[in-house]
Amino acid sequence: MPSEKRARQRALRDQKQAEIAKSRKRRSATRRVITVAVLAAVVVLIVVLLSSNSKHNAATTTTSTTTSSSTTTTVAVAPACPPAGGSAARVVLFKAAPSRCIPATSVWDATFTTSVGKIVVQMDAAKSFAAVNNFVFLTRYQYFNGTLFHRVITGFVDQGGDPAGNGTGIPTGAPAGTKAYPGYSWTGNTPPVSCKTQPAGAGCYVPGDLVMANSTGPSTNGSQFFFILPGGQKVLNTEPNYTLFGTVTQGMSVVEKIGSYGSSSGVPTVKVYLLSVTLKQVSG
């Protein structure tokens, strides 16, 4: 009898252990199901949030993009003179050339802060009003901020002033018919024809001069400019077709450093950026 009792007790214990094991398996399976369901819900929620955010961004995208310090407006605007302290928004496309925005006899110091150093240029409006007026106008609209010296030829010029960064004024890949920056052209002062008969640098172009670039002649000035490098005046003085509007007073070594990154094709070997231009009215 005692042995049968012990056998029954063992049988009961084994049955309980089996039931406990089954209960543990059920609880483990339930936890797995719950975990998978929670993970699936989280994934669905993330997808929904991303989709919602993408739709929101698409719905709120306009012709303006935000930079670190300002807004770049690509829609043409009326060429109102910006405030002396500068426009709060960066504008790079205009409907027409600017009106008179500076005194006719004013003199300006323009500080070009580049990615390799600073250059200070003095500009005399009395000598080339249209060019200086245009440059001050664009500078106050932050037009030149973040632009590239896109054409650099060692021993010739450092050229910049194109927000598109390619010399055409039209962003690469833009639709056909896109208007080139800044949206207008103007006619400015040019050196006299007598430059052709004078020795290199005698009263015409000299190294360190700041000169307007143009596409097909003096009536096609826009926003692009170039610094003349040592040696560049020898060629330019035989082709006096470019508006001279400033002279480097500090930082010629920076001008030459940018020039050292040039190539015969004009494509710079190192990208140098014009981070900003600041103005100081010296007189007038």
What would the mean pLDDT of 7-34 be, rounded to a whole number?
61
Domain that holds residue 251: 64-283
What pTM does this model have? 0.74
Residue in 176, 231, 171 with CA at minimum distance from that of residue 200: 231
Give residue-wise pLDDT tens across range 101-150. 999 999 999 999 999 999 999 999 999 999 999 999 999 999 999 999 99
pLDDT of 48 above 80: no
How do strand 90-91 and strand 71-73 relate by DSSP bridges? Answer: parallel
**Same domain, yes or no: 44 and 175:** no
Distance (Å) of CA 25 to CA 14, 30, 32, 133 = 16, 8, 11, 84
**Same domain, yes or no: 219 and 87:** yes
**Same domain, yes or no: 191 and 225:** yes
Query: Can you name the residues that pair with 226 across neighbouring β-strands?
Result: 159, 211
Poorest-pLDDT segment among 7-16, 115-124, 200-209: 7-16
pLDDT of 49 above 90: no
**Same domain, yes or no: 77 and 37:** no
Q: Give me the torsion for CA of 220, 72, 278, 156, rounded to 10°.
A: -40
**Same domain, yes or no: 157 and 207:** yes
For residue 237, what pLDDT is reported?
86
Q: How far apart are CA 81 and CA 50, in angstroms?
A: 42
**Same domain, yes or no: 71 and 56:** no
**Number of domains making up the chain:** 2
Mean pLDDT score across all residues of the chain: 82
pLDDT of 38 above 80: no
**Same domain, yes or no: 194 and 80:** yes
Cα-trace Rg, the chain: 34
For residue 202, what pLDDT is reported?
66
**Same domain, yes or no: 140 and 231:** yes
Q: How far is CA 128 from the centre of its chain?
A: 28
**Same domain, yes or no: 47 and 90:** no
The C-alpha angle 114, 106, 248, rounded to 5 degrees, equals 35
For residue 20, what pLDDT is reported?
61
Domain boundary among 26, 61, 96: 61
Q: Of 2 and 264, which is predicted with more confidence?
A: 264
CB of 232 closer than 8 Å to CB of 200: no
For residue 63, what pLDDT is reported?
29
Residue in 108, 112, 94 with CA at minimum distance from that of residue 245: 108
